[in-house]
Amino acid sequence: MNRLLLVCAAGLLIAGCDSASTPTSIPGNGQTQTTNTNYDCGSGGKLAVTYLNNDPNAVAIVETGDNQKIMMVNVVAASGAKYVGGIWEWWTKNESGTLSNLQTQKTMECQATK
């Protein structure tokens, strides 16, 4: 139920924003913590990811090189942090991330940049 509420609330946040802006808060038990991380994905290009955390909810907004923004919610992972949204999956561990298109089964391996 909490995940459904988070997805609905996050969708409303995105809908109320123009294409150049990113939400700065999500529902939860306290203040939203925001972290921005850039990733180099080799020939796949670069990703800019904004992480929003407000216990018990977590969201990742992945911005691709063509300025497409994909919002994903955190789901249970055996290791690392895993986010899903639509046909996309973003799975991170330490400084690495994998972006997967679950429909085409294509993946892109990425490394966080400093």
Instruction: Please give the domain boundaries of the chain with CATH numbers for all domains.
Output: 2-112 (2.40.128.200)
Q: Which among 49, 46, 63 is positioned nearest to 108, based on CA atoms?
A: 46
Q: Which among 46, 33, 30, 55 is positioned nearest to 99, based on CA atoms?
A: 46
Reported pTM: 0.79
User: What does the pLDDT profile of the chain (114 residues) look like in tens digits?
Assistant: 444 444 434 443 443 444 456 778 899 999 999 999 999 999 999 999 999 999 999 999 999 988 899 999 999 999 999 999 999 999 999 999 999 999 999 999 999 997
